[in-house]
Structure 1
């Protein structure tokens, strides 16, 4: 009997894992195994910054395996304004989850990192060996250092106790149940919400920047399948980048074009080139993943975007949109 606890289970990736577990045939490659229990815990189930509440959550469900997604996350400006909060809250969350897993005999933990842990100045493409080769970007160093320490902790638990603790590094994730709050959303959900409001209000759809920067986007349901695959098959302490191929980079203009089409927006659509573009590209290599996972089909970007926009339009009243406009 296995009990898999997913922390951050009510977020974008947690909801995607729950969807895959509930819809894939039992016993299939990404489906639930016979005798498995999956628990998706959100912040309402306990504050993981608090050691006693973390312990109580583990005592309640007695997990044998943990997929650790819970984190304090936010957009660029939140990261810049609340550097200590992002550092301290995430250090506490991660330490409590890993140490409670150690104390209760959890067999395996997969924690979720982010490509923003990488050094600001580093040779591309990013790979699993470059996490600690320099300082992260100053704008998010609190969050980045807290996440880097997960990798350090995994190695320490492995060296001292032989534990099977590892981590995954996804590129830009999007999909149903995303955060669409215009103040803190990442690029795809932010633009989807802006385009929806422009259509609703009969106003122009304005995209910040030139539209030229390139990004690797991974659909949350594809990422969910890769987390399930890692749970079953990946037992190395070294982190693993979960991403589409470098050749699948998409420009912000291509993203905006696809959103306009998916939303059915027919109004004025422009780019505000006075706004900053951010990094032009930060490609990550998925060679290690592809050498291990075998045959895996990523969902084509436009199909994944269409499905995400459809979910948003159907669930606008209950989606995480921040202030209604």
Structure 2
């Protein structure tokens, strides 16, 4: 039996227009047993403390899934470090504090596995947090997410709040960002191989292609988050991933197979590789009874279909 049932609850999915938030909304709508609260930036600016407090006081959600964040790839993080640190600190601090003030029954904060040290032992388990230096290419975002974990733990310790944290691995899926100036590696690859297929050009990939990464379809994440909020209540954060990784080269070849691109790849070794390997240990989450179901090739195919149907520059 779930330790906290969402049935009949009013659930605020903060960041419902983003890739993760939209997937969580889909998962909750499929259940059909709760009221989903949505509020875009036109309704409440999550960086505005007074606005968040006022909105939360008026709406009084029973539970909050905090998926709102400023996200981006290596280039975006390197170009806008202040934005990635400040915006994410403000969003999480304002929502978590307001949830405490309005006596919200359960809050789930989403972070990222970039919180872990660059050279953490692989696969990375939750105990690796704060045991070494961060990857410099995304440390601003990582520091903000670490602060979010600690905020949840602090409110739990001081006030007894049932605020918990989950750290997803690299994500992809419908509603992803395919803008090459700010996207993560997988949507960027899909966009590049699609464009090259149409133009007959060659695809250049940053780095050597040897770093290993783990990729999880966002619908699997949404399934996990709904499971976690109902079945987990503890001080420590939980990793959310599939526990398997591939090289960037293997990822590119899989994307090319799905898209139908046969032009090959060039690797720009003058660009940074980032962390050499990042694969999560999901023992704790699997021990609670949850497991992923979407394979990488099937997941990329689903994402590519969404890209073709929805991305304004896909044609």
TM-score, length-scaled by structure 1: 0.89
Distance in 2 between the 1:20 and 1:154 partners? 24
Deviation at 1:283, TM superposition (A): 1.9
- The correspondence of residues 42-191 of structure 1 with structure 2, limited to 5 A, is 42-191=40-189
Partner of 1:28: none
Aligned residues: 307
In structure 2, relative to structure 1, the CA distance for the partners of 1:229 and 1:192 (3 Å cut) is: same
Is contact 1:14-1:40 (8 Å) kept? no
For structure 2, the 5+ residue unaligned runs are 1-7
Deviates more, 1:276-285 or 1:43-52: 276-285
Deviation at 1:271, TM superposition (A): 2.3
Q: Work out whether residues 9 and 15 of structure 1, in 8 Å CA contact, stay in contact via their aligned partners in 2.
A: yes
Say whether 1:16 aligns with 2:11: no
8 A contact 2:73–2:185 mirrored in 1: no
CA distance in 1, matches of 2:10, 2:62: 5
Q: Distance in 1 between matches of 2:257 and 2:14?
A: 35
CA distance in 2 between partners of 1:115 and 1:121 (Å) = 13
SS at match of 2:47: coil
Residue in structure 1 matched with residue 3 of structure 2 by the alignment = none
Q: RMSD of the TM alignment (CA)?
A: 1.8
Indicate the SS of the match to 1:278: coil
Contact 1:7 1:67 in 2 (8 A): yes
CA gap of 1:17–1:159, structure 2 versus 1, over 3 A, is same
Residue 153 of structure 1: CA displacement?
A: 1.2
Distance (Å, rounded) in 2 between the aligned partners of 1:259 and 1:279? 21
Aligned 8 A contact 2:135 2:274 in 1: no
Return 5+ residue gaps in structure 1 as ranges. Answer: 25-30
TM-score by length of 2: 0.91
Q: Following TM superposition, by how much is the alpha carbon of 1:297 offset from its aligned partner in structure 2, in angstroms?
A: 4.1
2:298 matched residue in structure 1: 303
Residues 1:292 and 2:288 are matched in the alignment: yes
Q: Distance in 2 between matches of 1:137 and 1:256?
A: 23
